[in-house]
A and B are shown apart, each in its own frame.
Chain A
């Protein structure tokens, strides 16, 4: 469950990650708070996705600590991250094309039936997952033509909606969204923003990566700016203009590094 609104959910310190000669992250600090939406901004190649992957257990950082609820955690694998309540929508979506919507929503979170033995064997409780998928999607107001449809038969926006729905459904504490509205139409994008707000209102700590400044001012509380792997600014969204944000991103201005 989430902590009190405003208390730190996730604190990252001194995070470094290099790919051979490329310093993708250089001593980056970041904190996410319950009931707050933090924007992570930066140009292409700034290191945003790499940061998300380090937090979600996809990459092992070269240095740095990750604290969840104040306790240092080794997020050694995506499974470990999910066990800590960290759900992620990666830029590349991580949906499995040949599987259907229900199977994707419950992938590696499957309900089983048949008691202990069934759980050990992994006998799928398809009916229960189908019913709950319907509930999840209607609760989040995500519209998909049919739950039984394989992902490859959905539009780009629908696929994205399913990936977001999965993170929202399972993300009880921390949700990381790497450009979740990039492939969405106007209406669907607005719905994603509503979804982010309702996650926030439920007390979830949200990280939102986006290149769209309207979305930042619409629904984010704080903004962190990365440039060439370094954090160059951290500001309260209420105190800056969109132009300020753009200036930070392009490096025209360096900013307040925050508390």
Chain B
């Protein structure tokens, strides 16, 4: 008998135990996304070196593109962890950018962000309650909600963009920086750290995973699965609305289509990052790394000079490939 199979009751977290746990829980799966990020970065650094991929301003640009994707991805990771999915995130971000622009103009920058977050959490609540109480799969509820919310966003300001002239808002959620670090990056890190802690250190995070892994088992242990599913969908929508705030801050406008086309990008980022598309397993750090991968891909395709139509095709192909690869990796562990 090896030491590893000795009687339980041994709780010293020895180095070998720690290693064994790392190996067996994480497997390769958790590192795939970081390897992919490094690989793509290296690839673009070589083939796009004359197109300015490695310039400071382009790298900053990638970071700023990645920020809203990453914030949405962290929220989506919780929805997927609970075995739900939120297809309304893109339209929620767009509506939130408008709501923020509207509220900032009248009540100042704190209100701008607060109203946007309330819009998101409210939509998430509606999504969740319908999914849970009417027993409609969340992909259908949120697909319907996607249409409703984009319709509302289009009606709100007659397809016009709404300029934001509040300097504090633009500094805090957009162009500002602390020293050399863009405030968008700071927000990404803040959301990432909070998300990671919530997933690993709070009871709610563990319950989200439990409900996503086996809803009836979680219910048999007395977990209020309805509450968990609703709050998971609220989390993804609230994160999406915060992404809308960051988009509004970066572009200094609210508009009916900001972030609207990010849905597939976000789901791909989360799944590449090691979150199980069907619940029970999530990685916040992976979701952020996946977002960086997606932002680099977008950026690289543009620098390659592909036409918009070809970019769409290339991105679709890459996303399917990447998700297929990472899902195969997940099944093996």
Contact present for A98 and B5 (CB under 8 Å): no
Bound-state Cα–Cα, A112 to B201, Å: 10
A-B contact count (CB 8 A): 107
Q: A95, A131, A135: which contacts B217 (Cβ < 8 A)?
A: A95
B8, A108: Cβ atoms under 8 Å? Answer: no
Which chain B residues border A98 with CB–CB below 8 Å? 209, 213, 280-281
- Across the interface, which residues of A come within 8 angstroms of B203, CB to CB? 110, 112, 122-124
B220 touches A97 (CB 8 A): no
Which residue of the partner chain, among B8, B24, B201, B217, contacts A123 with CB atoms under 8 Å? B201
Choose among A58, A99, A146 the residue that contacts B220 (Cβ–Cβ < 8 A): A58
**Interface SS of B by simple majority:** helix
Instruction: Report yes or no: A148 in contact with B210, Cβ–Cβ below 8 A.
Output: no
Bound form: Cα–Cα A155–B217 in Å: 18
Give the total of A residues in contact with B, Cβ under 8 Å: 47
Question: Taking the nearest CB of chain B, how far is it from the CB of A147, in angstroms?
Answer: 6
Q: Is the CB of B13 within 8 A of A148?
A: yes
Determine the residue in chain B with the shortest Cβ distance to A107: B221
User: From residue B156, how far is it (CB to closest CB) to chain A in Å?
Assistant: 35
A213 interface hit (Cβ, 8 Å): no
Assess whether A143 is interfacial by the CB under 8 Å rule.
Answer: yes
Interface presence of A26 (CB below 8 A): no
Known A94-B220, A96-B217, A123-B201: A108·B207 in contact at CB below 8 Å: yes
The CA-CA distance from A56 to B221 in the complex, in Å, is: 10
Considering only CB atoms, which chain A residue lies closest to B209 in the complex? A98
Question: Which of A81, A101, A122 has most chain B Cβ within 10 Å?
Answer: A122
12 contacts between A and B (CB under 8 A): A95-B217, A96-B210, A99-B206, A107-B223, A122-B203, A130-B11, A130-B13, A137-B9, A143-B5, A146-B21, A150-B24, A153-B24
Given A107-B206, A110-B203: 7 more A-B contacts, CB < 8 Å? A78-B222, A82-B221, A90-B220, A130-B11, A134-B9, A138-B9, A148-B21
The residues of A with any CB-CB pair to B shorter than 8 Å are 56-58, 77-79, 81-82, 88, 90, 92-101, 103, 107-108, 110, 112, 121-124, 126, 130-131, 133-135, 137-138, 142-150, 153
The 5 A-B residue pairs with the shortest CB-CB distance, nearest first, are: A138-B9, A122-B203, A79-B222, A137-B8, A94-B217
